[in-house]
Amino acid sequence: MQVTFIWHEQIDGRWSQRQKQVATGGDMTVLRLAREHDIKIDATCGGRGRCGRCKVVVQGPLNEVSDLEAQLLTKEELARGIRLACYARPLGDIQVSIPTGETELLQILTEGFEQAVAVEPDVAKEFVTVDQPVLETPDGDRERLLAALKRSGGQDCQIPLGIMNSLPEVLRKGNHQVTVTRWHNHIVAVESGDTTDELFGLAFDIGTTTVVGGLIDLHQGKELAVAARLNGQAAYGADVISRVEYASNGTSQLKRLQQAVVDTLNGVVAELHDKTGICPKKICRVVLVGNTCMQHLALGVSPTYIARSPYTPAFSHRFDVTAGQLGLAVNPEAPVTFLPNVAGFVGADTVGVVVATGLASRNGRVLMVDIGTNGEIVMSHDGRMVSCSTAAGPALEGAQISCGMRAGEGAIEFVEIGEDIEVRVIGQTRPRGVCGSGLIDLVAELLKVGIIDETGRLQDTSELEGLSPKLLERIRAGEAGNEFVVVWGKDAAHGSDVVLTQRDIRELQLAKGAIRAGTMILQKILGIKDEDIDELLLAGAFGNYIRKESAMQMGLLPQVSLDKVRSVGNAARVGARLCLISQTKLEEASRLAKAMGYVELSGRPDFQEAFMDAMLFPRITREFAR
């Protein structure tokens, strides 16, 4: 019999569906079968039927539901075909969908970064018994509910209109026993009966390119599911600046951008609903990170002046709204917090990374580089932090590069050059282009063998000695200078050559120069030399997939020994999640953002020089290589 596993996996910052079919005799549980084929299913108890976390959605014939499953799964879950992988055993061909939980990203992060974060969200539920109304006292439903809350020791509360509308029915349906969800002195929900066992929140990272959201159980602090969508604003410009320009055309354009990202967020919410079966109306707390512009656009606040000197955002501290105001399809009274920004181009996403990595409380000299469409950099010396932002542009992600493409099927993600060039392609199909990590590999390797010199020039074959003919024949004259054929197009039917041009290299030099110059300035301010750096953290999805060696080779990063470099994945979203489950972390985020220094690079006379310097590739590269 055949078992088809379906799951989601993040590749270069983008979630995509994966599928694998395996044969089995029916003697193994779904969990063991998955492990045999290297397919991840979360099971913290090790498959002993205790944690109830290895939930999968199964279509097809299975063994009967065990007592333990009946105990650990709700009726709704069983009705939806959810089973525990550690008990389910196929009786024929089946399809197994694996919900995406807290997987790779957190595993990377927790390695050495684990923080003892107590689960203490700023929303809480309380089950209260409200006085029945009597003829003698004409107190309203609201007044009796507030009195009951006050009796149980609460502060004075406000009940928003959206809840008042149905309060009479909710009270009577529960025979005057209700569960109240509170956020400080705001009442977020009133539900009939006792629902205190459920408390859900959302943590979002609104990236310029991708929006990722996690549904969090706020009692346990656990991530129940993750979903991601491409930011719907992409249609209005790939990078931040082009979207700011679009939004600055007028209110309707600004509203359009806002609607686009809210639609994206709601798409994520719908997907989380599909994955978990948890009704979005039960979500009563949301924390978002995103760069400063993304936050402005999501709120419909004009970002115009972020893009003009002196680059002033409309707001920098934390911003609270309700889900209803934002148009988010969860409980409309749910408080939604946008984490604080540091400056126009150092946003809450960077603050999220700082929170997630505990940067403020780490000893030593730690450099954090978050390479995305923009590059944000934080340099910390025993918790004293300075930040800056560089307009890296999307070149490092493969955009604006003739052979560049997003990480997806057909993208070269790994390059090595020996006698000839060797590549690894996503999806193991015919290569169609090169994605970000592949590009950095490619340039690093070409630098190693001397095909590119330290100025970034693609050498003529005549200038190159001792290279294999196979490599030499890949170098040819292009439109502006030489070009290097990465993959030969087989014939017209199979598409043309995949080529790296001189102009592509110049784009990459601009991008890597900007980032390197940023780190140089921050190091200069704090008086920290390359060799003094104790730790170098690479954040963002890009940081996960880049080969550290290659990044170092091409001079994107300061010259530190490789064992000091560490990828921290999508730490921004982890930061959002920590602030969602912990009030202490949420307050810390505000303190950090205020305390963090900020350097506006365009205001520094030494930036241009550093930038010119940093655009060059390291001279030592060739010596390294041989």
DSSP letter, residue 482 = E
Binding of residue 606 to its own copies (CB under 8 A): no
Q: Is residue 287 classed exposed, middle or buried when 0-12, 13-18 and 19+ CB atoms within 10 A define those classes? A: buried
Binding of residue 185 to its own copies (CB under 8 A): no
Binding of residue 600 to its own copies (CB under 8 A): yes
CB of 305 or CB of 414, closer to its own copies: 305
- Amino acid occupying residue 381: H
Binding of residue 135 to its own copies (CB under 8 A): yes
C-alpha distances in Å from residue 374, one per residue of 293, 390, 518:
11, 6, 12
CB of 316 to its own copies, least distance (A): 4
> Which residues between 420 and 479 bind its own copies (CB under 8 A)?
none
Alpha-carbon span 223 to 102, nearest angstrom: 6
Contact string (CB under 8 A) for its own copies, positions 155-184, x = contact: ------x--xxxxxx--x------------
DSSP letter, residue 397 = G
**Alpha carbon 458 to chain centroid, angstroms:** 35
Q: Which of 12, 141, 239, 413 binds its own copies (CB under 8 A)?
A: 141
Stretch that binds its own copies, among 48-56, 224-232, 337-345, 420-428 (CB under 8 A): 337-345
Contact string (CB under 8 A) for its own copies, positions 300-329, x = contact: xxx-xx---xxxxxxxxx-x-x---x----
Binding of residue 250 to its own copies (CB under 8 A): no
Structural element, H or E, at residue 179: strand 177-183
Binding of residue 375 to its own copies (CB under 8 A): no
CB of 270 or CB of 321, closer to its own copies: 321
Q: Is residue 493 classed exposed, middle or buried when 0-12, 13-18 and 19+ CB atoms within 10 A define those classes? A: exposed
Alpha-carbon span 528 to 517, nearest angstrom: 14
Q: Sheet with 186-192: list strands edge to edge.
A: 123-129, 177-183, 186-192
Answer whether 12's CB lies under 8 Å from 545's CB: yes
CB of 153 to its own copies, least distance (A): 21
CB of 143 or CB of 382, closer to its own copies: 143
Stretch that binds its own copies, among 70-78, 101-109, 139-147, 372-380 (CB under 8 A): 139-147
Neighbours of 517 (CB within 10 A): 25
User: Helix, strand or coil for residue 31?
Assistant: helix
Say how many residues touch its own copies, by CB under 8 A: 45
Structural element, H or E, at residue 36: helix 30-36
Alpha-carbon span 391 to 394, nearest angstrom: 9
CB of 135 or CB of 492, closer to its own copies: 135
CB of 343 to its own copies, least distance (A): 3
CB of 139 or CB of 419, closer to its own copies: 139
CB of 166 or CB of 361, closer to its own copies: 166
Q: Which residues bind its own copies (CB under 8 A)?
A: 133-136, 138-143, 161, 164-169, 172, 299-302, 304-305, 309-317, 319, 321, 325, 341-344, 346, 598, 600, 602-603
